[in-house]
Amino acid sequence: MIARLWHGVTTRQNAGAYETLLRNKVLPGIHRVSGYGGAYLLKRTVPEGVEFVTVTFFESLNAVRAFAGSDYEQAVVPPDARALLLRFDERSVHYEMVLGPE
């Protein structure tokens, strides 16, 4: 199992809209990818607003490529999400999951 980690920061004013976009459009859209294994959405308050962290799970790097393309570390951030963000990781990082929740 591969965990894909990404960070983005938005203003406090845009945090609700961004979270709704993630919950209702972005994350459900990933379900179409064969090998997708779910996601965690994390958030915390930071000085410039609200930071969101997504951890998405895929069966393999081939499944990640099916989602993100051949340059699979490139962040996948739709235009409507970009419009709500102050800054975000241009590249995602990937980890092999060695232990998960029991």
Amino acid at the residue 97: M
Residues paired with residue 94 on neighbouring β-strands, in sequence order? 4
Domain boundaries, the chain: 2-96
| pTM for this predicted structure | 0.92
- Helix/strand number for the chain, H first, E second: 4, 5
**Residue 102 confidence (pLDDT) above 80:** no
Q: Are 58 and 64 in contact (CB under 8 A)?
A: yes
Q: CA-based angle 10:16:22, to the nearest 5?
A: 80
**Average pLDDT of the segment spanning 68-76:** 96
Strands (E), 21-98: 36-46, 49-58, 85-88, 93-96
Say what percent of the chain tops pLDDT 90.
90
Q: pLDDT category, 101, cuts 50, 70, 90? A: confident
CATH class of 2-96: alpha beta
**Residue 96 confidence (pLDDT) above 90:** yes
